[in-house]
Amino acid sequence: MQIIDQYTGLDVKQTGAAIALGNFDGVHKGHLEVIGSADAVAKKLSCPLATAVFHPHPKKFFVPSAEPSRLQSDASRAQSLSVLGSKFLYRLPFDRAMSLMSDREFAAQVLHEGLQVRHVSVGENYRFGRDRMGDVVSLAKLGEEFGFSVEAIKMAGNENRYSSTAVREALMAGDCKTATEILGRMWSVQARVEFGQQRGRTIGVPTANLSLGEYIRPRFGVYAAFAQIEGEGALLPGVVNIGTRPTMDGKEERLEIHLFDFTGDLYGRLLEVSLLEFIRDEKKFDGLPALQQQISKDIKIARQLAAVTLPVDRASST
């Protein structure tokens, strides 16, 4: 898949696609419906399938200080979209000029003149243009004017509507089951292992430390989890702590994972950590012995949960 960070001056071979337009944070089951719609049209028209997102996300542009809320890194999202068959990923530069475009200007300048799209698939609640003035109705009318077809896809899901917002709400509640159901896989963090204070080694529980960066902060606490090391296929079970480590007087929000029965050096390596199930909230203990005793209990529970869980095939997520 080719990643294109502009919509002007493109080679003719980079245009003329059927595109799925949205944010696609998490690439969940609802997104699969939208992308599948564009893919069906692409096959019918014998044109490329492409996806288009705004970069940065409009929320980040308008509120730079907003709390981190990403479900995926840019690299992980791109990988997910590539697996789904997207030939191009247009990362539309969201700047002041684009933020001031009307719905018609966006359709004319970006979709028609720039990308020369032949079709656009969006979710039924998609909004675009200055002050979110455009919706699926106006997009369809503009498509008729500029020569591209439009399909709006109803939100998928039963009790839980498939949306990135619903995944975020589930993670902040520690509800890994719901997050997994909407995503179609366990929610994961990809990051390189950083040097920590190595205090886990002093109590016999070495951990790999990952920065959460722009990822959403799930409910602080302990989770059963799996991890995959870059370049290695096996999923390794472990126990994760997400939070500030109050017993250690920590301040920075981090993810720490202890991999069961693992020996080796992980520093600097890319690790993908997937949350299986929430075990307990983070708390401050009265000293290391109490913490060590609780960690032993956490490890026992996490081992039991991992032993009875067959991880969902995550090929579409990475």
Check whether residue 8 and residue 79 sit in a common domain: yes
What's the confidence (pLDDT) of residue 315? 38
Mean pLDDT to the nearest integer, 157-178: 89
Check whether residue 102 and residue 232 sit in a common domain: no
Residue where a domain stops, chosen among 106, 122, 153: 153
pLDDT band at 308 (very low <50, low <70, confident <90, very high): confident
What's the confidence (pLDDT) of residue 159? 59
* CA dist 187 → 26, 98, 146, 190 (Å): 8, 32, 39, 10
pLDDT at 199 over 80: no
Residue where a domain stops, chosen among 109, 125, 153: 153
Mean pLDDT to the nearest integer, 186-206: 80
The Cα–Cα gap between 256 and 239 comes to 8
Longest CA span, the chain:
71
What's the confidence (pLDDT) of residue 318? 42
Asked whether residue 313 is assigned to any structural domain, the reply reads no
pLDDT tens-digit profile of 19-57? 999 999 999 999 999 999 999 999 999 999 999 999 999
Q: Which domain holds residue 280?
A: 173-307
- DSSP class of residue 8 equals S
pLDDT tens-digit profile of 212-262? 999 999 999 999 999 999 878 789 999 999 998 766 656 689 999 999 988
Q: End-to-end distance of the chain based on CA atoms, in angstroms?
A: 14
What is the amino acid identity at position 7? Y
Percent of the chain with pLDDT over 70: 92
Check whether residue 260 and residue 209 sit in a common domain: yes
The Cα–Cα gap between 238 and 236 comes to 7
What's the confidence (pLDDT) of residue 299? 97
Asked whether residue 41 is assigned to any structural domain, the reply reads yes
**Number of neighbours of residue 201 by Cβ within 10 angstroms:** 11
Check whether residue 139 and residue 191 sit in a common domain: no
User: Which residues lie across from 8 on neighbouring strands?
Assistant: none
Check whether residue 145 and residue 181 sit in a common domain: no
pLDDT band at 286 (very low <50, low <70, confident <90, very high): confident
Check whether residue 86 and residue 179 sit in a common domain: no
- Split into its structural domains, the chain has a count of 2
Check whether residue 110 and residue 219 sit in a common domain: no
pLDDT at 316 over 60: no
The Cα–Cα gap between 45 and 37 comes to 13
Q: Quick check: helix, strand or coil at residue 263?
A: coil
pLDDT band at 287 (very low <50, low <70, confident <90, very high): confident
Check whether residue 143 and residue 249 sit in a common domain: no
Residue where a domain stops, chosen among 124, 153, 182: 153
CATH number at residue 290: 2.40.30.30
Asked whether residue 84 is assigned to any structural domain, the reply reads yes
pLDDT at 146 over 50: yes
What's the confidence (pLDDT) of residue 201? 57
Mean pLDDT to the nearest integer, 185-195: 94
pLDDT tens-digit profile of 78-115? 999 999 999 999 999 999 999 999 999 999 999 999 99
List of long-range contacts for 297-305, beta carbons under 8 Å, 24+ apart: 298/222, 298/239, 299/205, 299/239, 299/258, 299/260, 301/224, 302/222, 302/223, 302/224, 302/225, 302/237, 302/238, 302/239, 302/260, 302/276, 303/237, 303/260, 305/224, 305/276, 305/277, 305/279
Whether the upstream peptide bond of residue 56 has omega within 30° of 0, thus cis, is yes
What the block records as the tokens of 4 is: 């294109």
The Cα–Cα gap between 85 and 5 comes to 19
Asked whether residue 317 is assigned to any structural domain, the reply reads no
Asked whether residue 80 is assigned to any structural domain, the reply reads yes
Residue 158's contacts (CB-CB under 8 Å, 6 or more residues apart) are none
| Sign of the alpha-carbon torsion through 293, 243, 74, 52 | positive
Q: Quick check: helix, strand or coil at residue 236?
A: strand
Check whether residue 94 and residue 40 sit in a common domain: yes
Check whether residue 99 and residue 202 sit in a common domain: no
Report the mean per-residue pLDDT for the chain: 92
What's the confidence (pLDDT) of residue 285? 86
Check whether residue 135 and residue 237 sit in a common domain: no
pLDDT band at 203 (very low <50, low <70, confident <90, very high): low
pLDDT tens-digit profile of 110-120? 999 999 999 99
Check whether residue 121 and residue 37 sit in a common domain: yes
Asked whether residue 163 is assigned to any structural domain, the reply reads no
CATH number at residue 19: 3.40.50.620
Asked whether residue 296 is assigned to any structural domain, the reply reads yes
Contact 182, 166 (CB under 8 A): yes
Asked whether residue 267 is assigned to any structural domain, the reply reads yes
Contact 48, 89 (CB under 8 A): no
The Cα–Cα gap between 212 and 191 comes to 8
What's the confidence (pLDDT) of residue 313? 46
The Cα–Cα gap between 181 and 160 comes to 9
Judged by average pLDDT, the poorest of 27-31, 116-120, 180-184, 196-200 is 196-200
pLDDT at 311 over 90: no
